[in-house]
Amino acid sequence: MNIIEIIKKRRSAGSFSDRPVDKDKIDRIVKAVEFSPVGSEKVPLKIVVVSKAAKKKQIRQAAEQIEKAYLEGASVFDDSNGSDSSKSGDDWQKPFLEEAPYLLIICSLAGQPYQAASTWLALGNLMMAATAEGLGSLCYSPSMPTFLRKILNIAVTYMPIAIIPVGYPSDELFPRLEPKDEKIFQNLFAGRFNWQKT
């Protein structure tokens, strides 16, 4: 696959199969991140690789507790009388945190110049590298990512930014359409598309 094919192929994986992932693939993904552009020639990030079931469970439980509390807090200011399903649904549930064979946690070194920009660029490379390895990934940015510090022993000098579950998707990822077709497709699903009679 060339880079354009990889970019077009990448889609977020919402759920993962239990098919084991070769650790070499994860090592190559992490290594690829080292080639990311970094501001001021400083390497402002580190990646924590989590594969132990017990740790993943702990991360899921803490993340779901926080997301649930966050959504409940947000609903206090919700004046839509529950009609907005994105707020009242099961958005707080994060089963992918346990399903995916690997969680890659990207952390940014506090106080480095361009730390945020460099970290997000690296994250893009990480997801592309996962696609190139035939794996699915998802960018999950927890509402309060600092909870990861205690569970994973991350020093206060590093700020956890995002969790990227990586593994084989449980379903074939829907291929990306051209943006204009994707819009029509979404509108069709939402029942908003009016067919033009010719």
Question: By the criterion CB under 6 A, which residues form the site for ligand FMN?
Answer: 11-12, 138-141
Listed in order, strand segments (DSSP E) in 100-180 are 102-109, 136-137, 158-167
Shortest spacing between CB 15 and ligand FMN, in angstroms: 11
Dig out the tokens for 62 from the structure: 């803490």
Q: Which residues lie below 8 Å from residue 92, measured CB to CB, with a gap of 6+?
A: 64, 67, 68, 70, 71
Dig out the tokens for 97 from the structure: 């945190």
Closest CA to 164 of 117, 116, 115, 129: 129
Q: Between residues 13 and 26, which has the closer beta carbon with respect to ligand FMN?
A: 13
Q: Between residues 134 and 155, which has the closer beta carbon with respect to ligand FMN?
A: 134
Q: Between residues 39 and 95, which has the closer beta carbon with respect to ligand FMN?
A: 95
Task: Return d(Cα 115, Cα 157) in angstroms, integer.
Answer: 12
Q: Between residues 51 and 186, which has the closer beta carbon with respect to ligand FMN?
A: 186
Shortest spacing between CB 137 and ligand FMN, in angstroms: 9
Q: Do residues 123 and 106 make contact, with C-beta atoms less than 8 angstroms apart?
A: yes
Shortest spacing between CB 198 and ligand FMN, in angstroms: 32
Shortest spacing between CB 128 and ligand FMN, in angstroms: 12
Shortest spacing between CB 189 and ligand FMN, in angstroms: 14
Residue with the shortest CB distance to ligand FMN = 12
Q: Between residues 53 and 144, which has the closer beta carbon with respect to ligand FMN?
A: 144
End-to-end Cα distance, the chain: 41
Q: Please name the amino acid found at residue 18.
A: D
Dig out the tokens for 54 from the structure: 């017990």
Q: Between residues 140 and 158, which has the closer beta carbon with respect to ligand FMN?
A: 140
Residue 110 burial (CB count, 10 A)? 12
Shortest spacing between CB 11 and ligand FMN, in angstroms: 4
